[in-house]
């Protein structure tokens, strides 16, 4: 057991306890958590900072407000509903079309109006929320996948997760929906994680349920060697989230829309560690490299220049 632990440490693999004690606790003041734990607050914060986000259609705050949903979505064929305090993608419902009085999910499954209302009611009751607290439901724009990314995804929209430490992006991956994940970019539900080379934005090999793979299980598309559209802008947005939130250790989730380009989807003060598996590389060594830079007051552009130099040969 100790031999395995020591080998992982030598390879720079960051575990949960070390992440919490050395990075989250030290660099993320708890008073700032609400800025990212509440998706509605995050969206408004980003807009104030001039950062692009999916359009907000409406907010459902009480069980009584569920009856307002038809007015919120009007005749829109596509939209997303999510709990404001949701975690790990739980409870997020992506509607990709309508068939009469029924709503189509990204997987192709259909919900009737009662089933949709029931799902929203569960969101409000806190079924999918951090700590089980009563919640609000956000109804927002359905991101239309960039054509290049659609080639390596199954039905749903991929998202890009970046770990940002003290304003420096240190590791990135793209999460690809699959049939198994019900068209959602959730690794715990069977989505594919693909590492991204930070300097170039080029995809590396993928992983699904902890198994290395070279092609998407549903589309058959090769996972390695594709350049993420708008990569420079994605890095710039991720780096700027440091100034926007004040959080030193941050997970930034970005989607690439076919019409609007990169959009900030969510921020996370306790990002998971599966990104290391997707990249086949440990995170700890990279974090230490940034710590060794000492105290800096660099702009996002200056930090990105340093990132490209430091991680030019890394994934």
Q: What pLDDT score does 221 carry?
A: 92
C-alpha to C-alpha distance for 216 and 238, rounded to whole angstroms: 26
Q: What is the pLDDT of residue 315?
A: 47
Asked whether 175 and 159 are in contact (CB, 8 A), the reply is yes
Residue 182 has pLDDT above 90, yes or no: no
For residue range 42-88, list pLDDT tens digits in order: 999 999 999 999 999 999 999 999 999 999 999 899 999 999 998 87
What are the pLDDT digits (tens) for 126-140?
999 988 889 999 999
Q: Are 213 and 223 a contacting pair, CB within 8 Å?
A: yes
Confidence of residue 2 (pLDDT cuts 50, 70, 90): very low
Position 210 scores a pLDDT of: 86
Structural domain boundaries of the chain? 8-38+146-310, 55-140
What is the C-alpha to C-alpha distance for residues 302 and 143, in angstroms, rounded to an integer?
30
Question: What is residue 4's predicted lDDT score, i.e. its pLDDT?
Answer: 42
- At residue 212, the 3 state secondary structure works out as strand
pLDDT in tens, 89-118: 889 999 999 998 899 987 788 999 999 999
pLDDT at 297: 67
Pairing of strands 261-268, 110-111: unpaired
Of 280, 259, 229, 282, nearest to 55 by C-alpha is 259
Per-residue confidence at 36, pLDDT binned at 50, 70, 90? Answer: very high
CATH no. for 55-140: 3.30.1490
Terminal alpha carbon distance of the chain: 28
Architecture of domain 8-38+146-310: 2-Layer Sandwich (3.30)
Q: What is the DSSP string of 3-65?
A: HHHHHHHHTTPPPHHHIIIIIIHHH--GGGTHHHHSHHHHHHHHHHTT---PPEEEEE-SGGG
CA–CA distances in Å: residue 110 to residues 90, 94, 97: 19, 11, 9
The mean pLDDT value of the chain amounts to 91
Alpha carbon distances (Å) from 169 to 64, 114, 152, 175, 298: 43, 43, 24, 17, 14
| Contacts for 125 with CB less than 8 Å, ≥ 6 apart | 134, 135
Q: Lowest mean pLDDT of 5-9, 138-142, 260-264, name the range.
A: 5-9
Burial class (CB in 10 A: 0-12, 13-18, 19+), 93: buried
pTM over 0.85: yes
Range in 115-119, 267-271, 293-297 with the lowest mean pLDDT? 293-297
State the pLDDT confidence band at 181, using cuts at 50, 70 and 90.
confident
């Amino acid at each position: 057991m100790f031999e395995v632990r020591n080998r992982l440490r030598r390879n720079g693999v960051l575990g949960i306890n070390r992440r919490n004690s050395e990075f989250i606790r030290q660099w993320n003041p708890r008073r700032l958590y609400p800025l990212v734990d509440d998706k509605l607050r995050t969206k408004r914060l980003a807009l104030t900072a001039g950062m692009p986000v999916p359009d907000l259609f409406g907010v459902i705050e009480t069980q009584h407000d569920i009856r307002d949903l038809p007015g919120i979505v009007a005749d829109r064929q596509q939209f997303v509903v999510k709990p404001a305090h949701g975690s790990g993608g739980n409870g997020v419902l992506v509607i990709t079309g309508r068939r009469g009085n029924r709503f189509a999910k990204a997987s192709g499954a259909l919900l009737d109006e009662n089933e949709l209302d029931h799902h929203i009611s569960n969101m409000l009751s806190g079924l999918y929320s951090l700590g089980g607290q009563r919640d609000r439901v956000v109804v927002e724009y359905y991101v239309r996948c960039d054509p290049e990314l659609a080639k390596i995804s199954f039905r749903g929209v991929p998202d890009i997760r970046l770990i940002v430490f003290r304003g420096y992006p240190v590791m990135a991956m793209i999460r690809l929906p699959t049939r198994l994940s019900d068209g959602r970019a959730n690794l715990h539900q069977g989505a594919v994680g693909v590492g991204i080379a930070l300097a170039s934005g080029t995809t590396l090999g993928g992983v699904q349920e902890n198994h290395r793979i070279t092609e998407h299980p549903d589309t058959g598309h090769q996972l390695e060697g594709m350049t993420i559209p708008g990569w420079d802008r994605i890095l710039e947005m991720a780096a700027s989230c440091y100034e926007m939130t004040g959080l030193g250790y941050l997970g930034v989730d970005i989607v690439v829309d076919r019409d609007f380009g990169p959009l900030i989807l969510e921020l996370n003060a306790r990002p998971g560690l599966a990104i290391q598996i997707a990249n086949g590389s440990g995170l700890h060594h990279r974090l230490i490299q940034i710590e060794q830079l000492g105290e800096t007051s660099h702009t996002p552009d200056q930090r990105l220049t340093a990132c490209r130099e430091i991680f030019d040969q890394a994934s």
